[in-house]
Chain A
Amino acid sequence: MTEIVVLSGKGGTGKTTVLASFAALAENSVLCDCDVDAPNLHLLLEPQAEEVHEFYGLQVAHIDSEACNECGLCVDACRFDAIHDFRVDPLACEGCGLCARVCPLGAISMHDVLAGHWYVSRTRYGPLVHARLRAAQENSGKLVMAVRKRARELAQQTDAVFILSDGPPGIGCPVISSLSGASMALIVTEPSLSGIHDLERVLGLCRHFGVRPLVCINKYDLSEKNTRRIEDHCGDAGVEVVGRIPFDPDVNSAIVQGRPVVEMSDGAASREIRALWEAMATCSVP
């Protein structure tokens, strides 16, 4: 089984477009959306939910105002500046519980918070494990781990050849949870100076966690000069550039129609994504 995670560093470079097309092209795969903050993969795959699970993140402190004598020990102890006027700001509280420990009156208790849900859904391309963190919640990394764990179980049960994961932007906690232990990472970048900067950081992250990176340049024709820079940089770093996708309005039309672009169009972008998938499938032969 090969677990491929699509990352980018910078957001909006085309991760979901590429991954949804892979889902349509791959046979016998389990699909996984590791972007639990702002998930989009489900918008292209028409999932039918079969399992719904609750997700509890970190606890949040609560001060019982009847029992509190406003001594202020909790305020002094809190490192997250989460207690104001002897009330806890749930958005600032990181659930460490120190306030409850220092309170001499036992007026502070810790509570579980429903932070989101995760789902196993049926799609015409195979099972999809996905999630939705509630707005403004913490601990998306832990939710990503729950989603990946279930995807791996399903892949084992069904003898799937691939787990195809759509990753979140950035390089922090949810990205680390999506990347660590994956077979390889496909980094979708774009030929902007920002794209190049972010690519370098995400390549650093792959090195840090020992995951093999491959690179794909989306909308490469927006700047052929920057595309060459990316190719040169990857060449120097020993990273393979496995695809170059041109700017193609069909990509946006497919998103608007809620379908993977390779199913909607035989245009330039679709042809390149098909070739990219062939290259990926070859790279991933053990």
Chain B
Amino acid sequence: MILSVASGKGGTGKTLVATSLALSLQGQGAVQLLDCDVEEPNAHILLRPEIESSQPVLVPVPRVDKERCTYCGRCSEVCAYNAIAVASTVVLVFPELCHGCGACSYVCPEGAITEEGREVGVVQAGRAGRVRFVHGQLAIGEAMAGPLIRAVKGLADPAAIVILDAPPGTSCPVVETIRGSDFCLLVTEPTPFGLSDLTIAVEVSREINAPCGVVINRDGAGNDDVERYCAQEGIPVLMRIPFDRRIAEAYCRGETLAAAMPSWQQRFRELFDRVKGLAAVGSVS
């Protein structure tokens, strides 16, 4: 079972929900939390895992053999990302633009291009209590989160309950994260910002054909438009977390909801039971 926790808008409480859910499900079989927000990973701050392994993530980038290169410019013509440029007697590679597709080395008529791995970040794995933990950290200045997210997801255990903490937004890093999920739990807040970004997040989950449900965080702080939207679209509201300064203060200290207010653990287990049911229906329909 792969469950993504996503939102569109940042700061709605994805990590609070993902970590609280993981902690509440400890003891119900293997539970894995994969923090796929590799630009700004935060789950480790709340879970404080013991890191047991750390691996660099490499992206292949071209390396040009000047002896062989005839400066014909084919590599530059085929590069869809403008990552390689050829002047009269110079080839310039812009590694941070390179997606590592290999087209340049494929087309080079002189066989002058080989590829070498360039580190774009690290993937770390460990444990927090009985929760198995993985996250990635994109190196500062690197643009592309995709390869790192793929590396984090590569450590998912198909036999476990896998909870993916998604990055904010609705473009490639989010799609890379939630692709292949059995269910998307969309965390929002009852404001026009929350609603606007929720509608886009719902479109994304429909694009990947995953059933979705909503968690309304800071419930009571805005208006009823999110509830109305969910009712219209037939999207179940699976949990409401009240607008409560004590929850915000606990989060500031780096505490999950499950740890700060243990009575919530039962509610997270019930939430997961409903998600399991909805995912089963979704996979049939």
**Interface, chain A (partner B; CB < 8 A):** 8-13, 16, 37-40, 43, 58-59, 77, 79-80, 91-92, 94-98, 101-102, 133, 135-141, 168-176, 190-195, 197-198, 201, 204-205, 208-209, 219, 222-223, 226, 247, 249, 252, 255-256, 258
Contact = CB atoms under 8 A, between A and B. Distances in A.
B168 A170 contact: yes
A204 B140 CA distance: 7
A77 B102 CA distance: 8
Contacts of B179: 91-92
Nearest to A10: B40
Nearest to A96: B101
Interface of B: 8-12, 15, 37, 39-40, 42, 45-46, 60, 78, 80-81, 99-103, 106-107, 138, 140-146, 167-175, 179, 191-193, 196-197, 200, 203-204, 207-208, 221-223, 245, 248-249, 251-254
A97 B203 contact: no
20 contacts: A8-B10, A10-B42, A11-B10, A11-B11, A13-B10, A38-B8, A38-B170, A40-B193, A43-B192, A91-B175, A92-B179, A95-B80, A96-B102, A101-B107, A133-B171, A136-B208, A139-B172, A171-B39, A191-B252, A192-B253
Contacts of B169: 37-38, 140, 168-170, 174
A59 B80 contact: yes
B145 A223 contact: no
Contacts of B221: 249, 252
Contact of A37 (B15, B146, B170, B207): B170
A11 B80 contact: no
B193 A79 contact: no
B140 A137 contact: no
Residue among B171, B208, B251 with most chain A CB within 10 A: B171
A226 B141 contact: no
Contacts of B172: 137-140
Nearest to B206: A135
B102 A79 contact: yes
A9 B103 contact: no
Contacts of A102: 106
A11 to B, nearest CB: 1
A16 B10 CA distance: 11
Contacts of A226: 252
Contacts of A133: 170-171
A75 B179 CA distance: 19
A272 B141 CA distance: 32
Nearest to A226: B252
Contact of A198 (B40, B99, B200): B40
Nearest to A116: B171
Nearest to A197: B45
Contacts of B8: 37-38
Contacts of B207: 91, 135-136
B16 to A, nearest CB: 9
B254 to A, nearest CB: 4
A198 B208 CA distance: 29
Contacts of A172: 39, 138, 142-145, 173
B37 to A, nearest CB: 8
A58 B251 CA distance: 39
A197 B151 CA distance: 22
B171 A138 contact: yes
Given A37-B168, A223-B249, A252-B222, 8 more contacts: A9-B39, A79-B99, A80-B101, A170-B167, A170-B173, A172-B173, A197-B40, A222-B245
Contacts of A176: 141, 143
A91 B10 contact: no
Contact of B101 (A39, A79, A198): A79
B191 A256 contact: yes
A96 to B, nearest CB: 3
A141 B100 CA distance: 18
A40 B197 contact: yes
A40 B142 CA distance: 25
Contacts of A247: 245, 248
A91 B39 contact: no
B249 A171 contact: no
A41 to B, nearest CB: 10
A136 B175 contact: yes
A218 to B, nearest CB: 10
Given A92-B179, A192-B252, A252-B221, A11 B192 contact: no
Contact of A101 (B15, B40, B78, B222): B78
B110 to A, nearest CB: 17
B1 to A, nearest CB: 21
A216 B182 CA distance: 39
Nearest to B175: A136
A101 B197 CA distance: 38
Closest 3 pairs (CB-CB, A-B) = A11-B10, A12-B11, A96-B101
A172 B81 CA distance: 16
